[in-house]
Chains A and B, each alone.
Chain A
Amino acid sequence: MDTTNVVSKPEQTYVDANVQDDNWTEVIQPRTRLLDLGLADVWRYRDLVMLFVRRDFVSTYKQTVLGPIWFFIQPLLTTITYVVIFGNVAQLSTDGLPMMVFYLSGITIWNYFAQTLTNTSTVFRDNAGMFGKVYFPRLTMPLSIVLSNLVRFAIQFGLFIVVWLYYLLKGDSGIHPNWLVLLTPLLVVVMGLMSLGLGMIFSAMTTKYRDLAMLLAFGVQLLMYATPVIYPLSSITGKYRYLILANPMTSIVETFRYAFLGSGTFDWAYLAYSVAFTLVILLLGTIIFNRVQKSFTDTV
């Protein structure tokens, strides 16, 4: 079709004399400023975040007989496996603590981090269909994952407390909790935000480079061995100790264990490192995520 018989173009039919450029509610542009994170937008959609959390929770356990009890079964069985394999067969040190409570403390913490990280890292890929049809602040999705895993963590933490109380009341088990227990909320928040930040970076990158998804799948598994989950930090000496200390999850797990069980390595400097790392990753993650969300539907 040749374009010479075009009768009129609409921009010529309208006269816009008194349009004030500053009155627009919104301007859609190719790029936004680097630090325009759209957090106000996310706040406006806070109901949606909660509904996603509810959806995740309800849909996971619909048509299961045991329902949320599965939240207990999974860490319990893992702990028992570790007790058998790492505790009895490999005879790794547990700092003189009862094996059950030692492994369970590590697993409870690690599960939250690992689960949140893996779930957030596939946000774009898993929701491509929905994201391709309707706009809502994409950040609501990873945020809701962090929160739904928090619900799960709360339940598993309850399990840990029960086991911990059992050993504590039984006495004579070498458990000496201290005032650092009060740091638990901070630990949870730092851990949640760290996994959120890392997850957002990975999810943004995987829209183009799927290889990263493969990397992450076993990377998280390997990372567990670089975190004092199945062994105490005190049992590691020499050059590997620095490697493990460089892992920002190390101080989280160790602080948690030190606070509740009274044995472990605690240092404000290590903890400060983890907090700083989290803040940097979180900022970086949000920036990258926001960059990618604008046009990921073209590449995913």
Chain B
Amino acid sequence: MSDIAIKVENLSKLYRLGEVGTGTMSQDLNRWWASVRGKEDPFATIGETNDRTKKGSSNYVWSLKDVNFEVKQGEVLGIIGRNGAGKSTLLKILSKITAPTTGSIKVNGRIASLLEVGTGFHPELTGRENIFLNGAILGMSKTEIRSKFDEIVDFSGVERYIDTPVKRYSSGMYVRLAFAVSAFLEPEILIVDEVLAVGDAEFQKKCLGRMKDVSRNDGRTILFVSHSMAAVKNICTTGLLMQNGQVSFGGTSDEVVDYYIANFLNFNSDTKIQITDAHRTNRNLSRFIEYKSIEFVNPVDNNLYSIDDDIVIAVRFTSKVDKESFRLAFSICKMDESAVGTFFSEEALSIKKGQEKEFSITIKNHQLAKGQYYFDLSVGIGNELTGTTDYDVISKTLFFEIAYKDRLKTQMMTLWHSEWGSMNFQEVELKAV
């Protein structure tokens, strides 16, 4: 008996872009005619690799192309990559939601996948009824669910509301209950897609802990897709980096995350950036007000700042509308794409239609620890208290490094362990009492 849990061989998936529906009938007939004569699908040959930043010449695109890898039993594999690298497609095929175009996946053991928590929850049904329904959808039998029912309710912490229809639940309770059902799935192979990006911090910790337990103690195989490099490093044993529908790097999770950070999140010391679509991860925003450029005011060599420096940037917007009050927000992120902190301005900015306006942002006493960082920015209305609506969000704009201990830049900081976090507190009072 081999110890391979999943073996993926030459897996490819072809997607058709644009409208489905126009011309499908004639293409279906063409395809059928080709298959009758024993020829290849005439449309499959013209596909291109999946690079969404370039405009392709054909309507077909290979979302996955000749993907090969193996997962050993008990391995926790983290799959990372940019948006559109083919991670989700891979998960969908593994979960049997859609079939591959060519290639095969051989599986040893029962697979359960969590691409979403609470699939099939019906708002009119009570928590109790939904546990059974959701459990059955995920592949558990009634007896199995009944035997775990108390544990599930306990884990979710919504015992009091268990006989209330879930439409009356708060969104937090809903997610807790939904995750709880999934957490007690016991397949040999578990496929998880960023479901952990839900719920409050305490609950997220509980979920991560549960996943760790499952893999360590029960020796289950887990495939975990995430944007959180920290989570991948923390939970996974091995990693896989996807790029344009292909596997570009595989190894231990630490190796893969480091490789990703080194090769994909290139630190650069540009001091002024014209904003393009490449900075926009979400292109469906209204962009009533949009970013034009961002730059460091009084740039320093190689964007190396000291602990005592103020960091000053200037941003430039244009507007398509008259707006009396809006706000901007920025986050400072670490190279593993996790945010260190976020600032929301007052909704006190204004702009006229067609106007181009510049604002400067001064960050005083930043308290950031030694390391490399970059800015994500947004513009819109609302804040952390009221909920936000963004007009434009730009990511990975200016990069900078905190390197010196003193303002005069004579003393480099030499040591900062990653487990110390990314804040180096400056204003702390310590005295005997």
Contact = CB atoms under 8 A, between A and B. Distances in A.
Contacts of B250: 8-10, 13
Interface in A1-25: 1, 3, 5-11, 13-14, 16, 18-21, 23-25
Contact of B104 (A11, A29, A133): A29
A43 to B, nearest CB: 11
Given A5-B263, A297-B98, A10 B70 contact: yes
Interface residues of A, number: 51
Contact of A131 (B4, B24, B97, B129): B97
Contacts of A208: 20-21, 24, 28
B110 A45 contact: no
B367 interface: no
A54 B116 CA distance: 23
Main SS of chain B's interface residues?
A: mixed
Interface residues of B, number: 63
A30 B93 CA distance: 10
A57 to B, nearest CB: 11
Given A23-B1, A28-B104, A51 B133 contact: yes
Contacts of B248: 1, 3, 6
B120 interface: yes
A5 B115 CA distance: 32
A62 B165 contact: yes
A222 B2 CA distance: 60
B271 interface: no
A3 B168 CA distance: 51
A210 interface: yes
Nearest to A3: B248
A27 B122 contact: no
A55 interface: yes
Interface in A119-135: 130-135
B251 interface: yes
B261 interface: no
B153 to A, nearest CB: 18
Contacts of A134: 95, 97, 113, 115-116, 119-120, 137-138
B99 A294 contact: yes
B247 interface: yes
A27 B1 CA distance: 17
Interface in B46-80: 68-70
Contacts of B25: 209
Interface string B101-121: 111111111110101100110
A45 to B, nearest CB: 7
B136 A48 contact: yes
A45 B251 contact: no
A10 B96 CA distance: 23
A143 to B, nearest CB: 14
Contacts of A48: 136-137
Given A10-B240, A208-B21, A132 B97 contact: yes
A10 B79 CA distance: 13
10 contacts: A1-B264, A11-B69, A20-B2, A25-B108, A26-B106, A28-B105, A29-B100, A51-B133, A133-B97, A209-B21
Going nearest first, the 7 A-B pairs with the smallest beta carbon separation are A10-B250, A294-B99, A48-B136, A135-B96, A28-B105, A11-B68, A59-B124
Interface of B: 1-2, 4, 7, 15-16, 20-21, 24-25, 28, 68-70, 92-111, 113, 115-116, 119-120, 122, 124-125, 129, 132-133, 136-139, 141-142, 165, 240, 243, 246-251, 259, 263-264
